[in-house]
Structures are given as C-alpha cells and as structure tokens.
Structure 1
Amino acid sequence: MKMFDDPEAVARYQDGPRRFVPGLEALHRMSAILLAEHMAADGHLLVLGAGGGLELKAFADAHPGWRFTGIDPSAKMLELARQTLGPLAPRASLVEGYAQDAPEGPFDGAACLLTLHFLPREERIDTAAQIHKRLAPGAPFVVAHSSFPQAPDERTRWLSRYAAYAVASGVPADQAENARATVEAGISMLSPEEDADVLRQAGFRDVTPFYAAFSWRGWVAYA
C-alpha cells in the first residue's frame, strides 16, 4: 500500500497495531509457540510483511537461535524493521519485494501477520501458495489478519467495533473513523471461513484457528 511509502505513516506505524489489534503482544507470543512446536532451535523462519519489525523482534527475543528472512515491498518499512531489531538485526536478512521474491528455501516455518487482508482473494491464494512451495514438508505457517463476517449488516457492525476498540485504546475518534472508512472503502475483506479456505487452496493442511479478537483472526497450518 502507498501509505507504507509515506515517511510520516512509517514513523507512526509502531504505535498503530497496538491500538488497533487487540492482544497484539499475545498474538506474537502464541505465534512463536506454534512455530516452535515444529521448528528446531536453530530454525530459519520466513516472515512475509516484515516491515516495521514488531513480529521479527518478538520472535528473535523468544528464540535466540532462530534466523529470519523478512520480505516487504516497502524499503522505508524495512528500514524501520532494522531499527526495531537493533542489535538483533544481523540475524535477519531483509528483502524488498513480495512473496515471489523470497529465496527458494526450504524454510523451517513461515509467518504472515497483519498483511494478507490487503490482497483480494485470488492474490491471497497465490501469495500463500508462494509461501507453501518455499517451506519444508510439514513446516508450520502462522497467519493472522483482519477477517470477519461480510454480510452487509454484520460487516458494518464489526467495522464499528474495530473503530470503537481503537478509540478505547487511545486513538482520537476522528482518526479511528478515518481508519474505519478506509477499510470499508478500500480493503477487500473475507470472512473467517473464506480465509481458511484460501490456505487450503494454497496447499496447506490442518488449517486450525488459534486467535480471535474482534475483527481479527489467526490460523496455523502446515505445508
């Protein structure tokens, strides 16, 4: 998205997810636990949408032996990730681009947090398939993003709750409303059932939900 090439938006990014995503730190901890069930202590993790570096730092802190390859289309967001990682940065190779630009692997696991909701359905399937073919057999994939019922009345209700949570977290009401309007007008959301099916169509098995927080959902699946 163009917003992630805006220096002011990038500078504000670190605070945004914590105010809009309920339980963000817990999501990171749960994701690390699910990945560690199948990754060795010296595993190599592919992280799609790694700009900003919040999940990279959480994973690196939790598992000192892991190495990372992070992919993001925004050079400015990748630079923010380097700053966020600080002394941990040498453990991460950061690549500007999209899923198809990632190294072939095979990787021991993958994560894609707060990213896939920016893509329409067919692009989500292709992106997830690109990740799948870069994973070792049986490797875990943790994914979480905005996903909620899409019937018109339900969609409106959940978007209102999305904005109300942001206000309750300290976001000014006008900014929360602008974010809600942006999501409603410009982002292609799917229902949780459709999102799980995206992973299956991309080749993943045992797709299991593990996180639900207002308008956000998360799944773990296996290559």
Structure 2
Amino acid sequence: MEHIREAFNRFAQDYDSQREYIIPDMRQYYGAAVWAMESREQQPEILDVGAGTGLLSAFLLEKFPDARLTLMDISENMLEMAKKRFADRPETRYVVSDYSTGELGGPYDIICSALSIHHLAAEDKRELFRRIYAVLRPGGIFVNADQADGETPYFRQRYLDCWNEFLQNGPMTGAQREEILKRRDTLDKNEKLSDQLAWLREAGFADVDVVYRNRTFIVTVARKG
C-alpha cells in the first residue's frame, strides 16, 4: 500500500478540482451513494474508509448533519485537506491508517467508501468486506461507491473506451490526462460487479444490491440483518 499512499499524497491538492472531469455524472454517482445510506439514529456513527479529502463525507453530512464522523485514509495529505473542509466540525475524527489491515474501530451505524476499495487486491477486498460486516451494528449499512470491471472482456473494453472518451473531451490538459491514465493503469484493480456482490453476501450481509451503475462506476449497498 506504500505506493498508493505516496501517489495520493502527491496529488491531494488537485483531487477535488478534478473529480467532475474524471467521473462521468459525478453528482448523480455520489447522490446515489448518499441516498442509499439510512439510519434510525439522529446521530449515527459513520466511518468513511479511504475518505481522502472528505468529499463523500461532505455530501452525506447534508443528510446526517449531526453524524459522529470518522474519516480513515492511508494518505496524510488527503486527510489534511479533509481537516480544512471540516474545520467547523472539531468533533470529526481523523485516522491515518491502512484500512485494509488496520483496526476499523466501531461499532458503526454506517460505513461508506468512495473510489478507494478498488485499489485492493481481490482477496483483500473480500477480507475487508468481512471486517466491515463485523464492526457494523445490526441493521447497519455499508455503501461502496467504487469501480467495477466489465463482466466480459467485451464490456471491459467498451467501458474503458467510454471513460477514455469522457476524459478526452474534458477540460484537463494533456499532461493531467496522462497522469490520470497512468494512475488508473498502475493503481486500479477492478473486479466484476457480480464478484463484489457475491463477496458481500459471503461476508454475511442480509440485503445486497447495486443501486447505481454507469459502466465502470457503481454503488453497492449491503445491510447487516
């Protein structure tokens, strides 16, 4: 994970400003993730794993303004950006940790993640889903806004072609696009959506589904019974 930490430390400053030019229909994507989160608690305990600059957490606080929020990320620089974002929320906790192996804490009412877990190897994803299940309260929700491979080589290529066209038509410079493609080729380890749903069920989640898909970009939801 060290190469991931170094990469995200390096481009933390530009992360938020590039999001809408990297992710097609970004606001619908994040909006679907926030919609999927639910809790009966007025102040739900929420863990954002791979929280980065806190972009997903910022959206979910519009729905749960009194949430007790913990942001966990391996990149110190990304969390520094998050601290600036939430400067008016001194109660927010920040944990610099490799969530794939480090303690998650808990218990939590909601665990969420955006565009992070796809950096893990397949078996590490499966193990993380099991560990997330263990630290959720009964009825707790795990929402993962992430990436998925195509179910066949044909769809994998079609999804990549679509994404490449989106990047090409955006306002970023050639150098910025080259950096993003390099990052995608070296850091991304996408798995099929069908595999990810199967691993969530295997972990013990009672209700598992996908609530959003725009080719590569997915939002899965899993509820602990």
TM-score, structure 1 as length reference? 0.88
In the TM superposition, 1:34-183 aligns within 5 A as 34-36=36-38, 38-88=39-89, 90-99=90-99, 100-149=101-150, 151-173=152-174, 175-183=176-184
Residue 3 (str. 1) matches residue 7 (str. 2): yes
CA contact (8 A) 1:109 1:141 kept: yes
CA contact (8 A) 1:159 1:180 kept: no
Q: Measured at CA, do residues 185 and 31 of structure 1 come closer, stay the same or move farther in structure 2, by a change above 3 Å?
A: closer
Following superposition, the deviation at residue 14 of structure 1 comes to 0.9
Distance 2:69 2:104 in 1: 11
* Structure 2 runs not aligned, ≥5 long: none
CA contact (8 A) 1:50 1:71 kept: yes
Q: Which amino acid aligns with 1:197?
A: A
Q: 3-state DSSP class of the match of 2:86?
A: helix
Q: 3-state DSSP class of the match of 1:40?
A: coil
**Which segment drifts farther, 54-63 or 177-186?**
177-186
Q: Identify which of 18, 21, 24 aligns with 1:22.
A: 24
CA contact (8 A) 1:45 1:107 kept: yes
Distance 1:42 1:185 in 2: 39
Q: Deviations over 1:105-159 (max 9, x none)?
A: 1111110111111011100011122211110012011002111315334322221
Q: Measured at CA, do residues 122 and 68 of structure 1 come closer, stay the same or move farther in structure 2, by a change above 3 Å?
A: same
Distance 2:176 2:195 in 1: 29
Q: Measured at CA, do residues 122 and 162 of structure 1 come closer, stay the same or move farther in structure 2, by a change above 3 Å?
A: same
Following superposition, the deviation at residue 174 of structure 1 comes to 5.3
Following superposition, the deviation at residue 32 of structure 1 comes to 2.4
* Structure 1 runs not aligned, ≥5 long: none
Q: 3-state DSSP class of the match of 2:221?
A: strand
Distance 1:16 1:199 in 2: 30
Q: 3-state DSSP class of the match of 1:11?
A: helix
Q: 3-state DSSP class of the match of 1:154?
A: helix
Residue 12 (str. 1) matches residue 14 (str. 2): yes
Following superposition, the deviation at residue 97 of structure 1 comes to 0.5
Distance 1:173 1:164 in 2: 13
- How many pairs are equivalent? 219
Quick one: percent identity of the two aligned structures? 23
CA contact (8 A) 1:44 1:66 kept: yes
Q: Measured at CA, do residues 87 and 207 of structure 1 come closer, stay the same or move farther in structure 2, by a change above 3 Å?
A: same
Distance 2:190 2:104 in 1: 28
Distance 1:35 1:182 in 2: 29
Corresponding position of 1:219: 220
Q: 3-state DSSP class of the match of 2:137?
A: coil
